[in-house]
């Protein structure tokens, strides 16, 4: 199980330079199913189990059913159909790229992923940060592919994910995670520069 909270804007450029189609989404899901055949987009509103989990975690995560996407049992659980309809194809593409890392890690490290992600979860420094960092590196790369840049606002959004209550303070070292995020952005930019030439600018 892994969770991905969602907030509006989150420092993402509103006009993508690459427009994602239904075919792009289907192809991405097809690639994932070659590794995890059970992969599907599902809705928490259709699942009694998800509703029960939502009730269980409500005291410390009241928006589990309305704002969080969850990976569980090889499926990507979105809050509702209305939630998905409110999102762009680019948002969904980036989400699947992120959650795809978790799905692959679950397949590659069966049991270990779930135990280290969940049972060591309660609060503070946990192994959860390692798994999320693997996924967020892909999220950073996807930002460049879709929008041509990674904004400072997006880096701050991710820093808050690691240090704040959304992930129960899984890496409570804000200055360190900001440095790590900035280094990763520069590494991605340098690689893109080698492949395609100079960028037009950071912001």
Confidence of residue 8 (pLDDT cuts 50, 70, 90): low
d(CA 42, CA 30) in angstroms, rounded, equals 15
Segment 93-119 mean pLDDT? 85
Would you say residue 202 lies in a domain?
Answer: no
d(CA 188, CA 128): 23
Q: Residue 170: its pLDDT value, please?
A: 84
At residue 118, does pLDDT exceed 90? no
pLDDT at position 122, please? 43
Q: Residue 40 domain-assigned?
A: yes
pLDDT(125) > 60: no
Range 31-34, long-range pairs (CB < 8 A, 24+ positions):
32/96, 32/100, 32/103, 32/104
Q: How much of the chain, in percent, has pLDDT values that exceed 70? A: 84
Spatial contact of 38 and 73, defined as CB atoms under 8 Å apart = yes
In a domain, 201, yes or no: no
pLDDT at residue 201, rounded to an integer: 45
Supply the range of the domain harboring residue 76: 2-196
Average pLDDT over residues 142-155: 95
Residue 82 lies in a domain: yes
Confidence at residue 58, expressed as pLDDT on a 0 to 100 scale:
86
Q: Confidence class of residue 22 from pLDDT cuts 50, 70 and 90?
A: very high
| pLDDT higher than threshold 50 for residue 107 | yes
Residue 185: per-residue pLDDT: 97
154 confidence band (pLDDT: 50, 70, 90): very high
CA-CA distance, 122 to 82, in Å (whole number)? 31
Contact 97, 90 (CB under 8 A): no
Residue range 111-117: average pLDDT?
74
DSSP 80: -
Of 191, 100, 110, 140, whose CA–CA distance to 12 is shortest?
140
Give yes or no for a contact between 147 and 17, defined as CB atoms under 8 angstroms apart.
yes
Residue 41 falls inside a structural domain = yes
Is 55 a domain residue? yes
Which pLDDT score is estimated for 200? 47
For the chain, how many structural domains are there in total?
A: 1
Tens-digit pLDDT profile for residues 168-203: 788 889 999 999 999 999 999 999 887 765 554 444
Among 92, 96, 129, 99, residue whose Cα is nearest residue 12: 92
203 assigned to some structural domain: no
**66-92 pLDDT, tens digit each:** 999 999 889 999 999 999 999 999 999
- Average pLDDT of the chain is 86
């Amino acid at each position: 199980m892994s969770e991905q909270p969602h907030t509006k804007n989150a420092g993402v450029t509103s006009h993508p330079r690459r427009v994602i189609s239904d075919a792009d989404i289907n192809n991405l899901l097809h690639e994932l199913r070659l590794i995890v055949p059970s992969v599907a987009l599902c809705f928490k509103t259709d699942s009694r189990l998800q509703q029960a989990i939502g009730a269980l975690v409500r005291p410390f995560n009241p928006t589990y059913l309305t704002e969080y996407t969850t990976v569980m049992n090889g499926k990507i659980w979105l809050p509702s159909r209305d939630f998905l309809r409110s999102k762009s194809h680019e948002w969904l593409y980036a989400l699947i790229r992120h959650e795809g890392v978790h799905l692959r890690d679950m397949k590659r490290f069966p049991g270990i992923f779930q135990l280290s992600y969940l049972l060591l979860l309660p609060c503070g420094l946990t192994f959860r940060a390692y798994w999320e960092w693997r996924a967020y590196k892909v999220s950073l790369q996807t930002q460049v592919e879709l929008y041509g840049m990674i904004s400072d606002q997006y880096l701050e959004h991710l820093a808050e994910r690691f240090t704040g209550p959304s992930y129960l303070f899984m890496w409570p070292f804000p200055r360190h995670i900001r440095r790590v995020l900035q280094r990763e952005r520069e590494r991605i930019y340098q690689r893109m520069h080698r492949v395609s030439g100079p960028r037009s600018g950071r912001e």
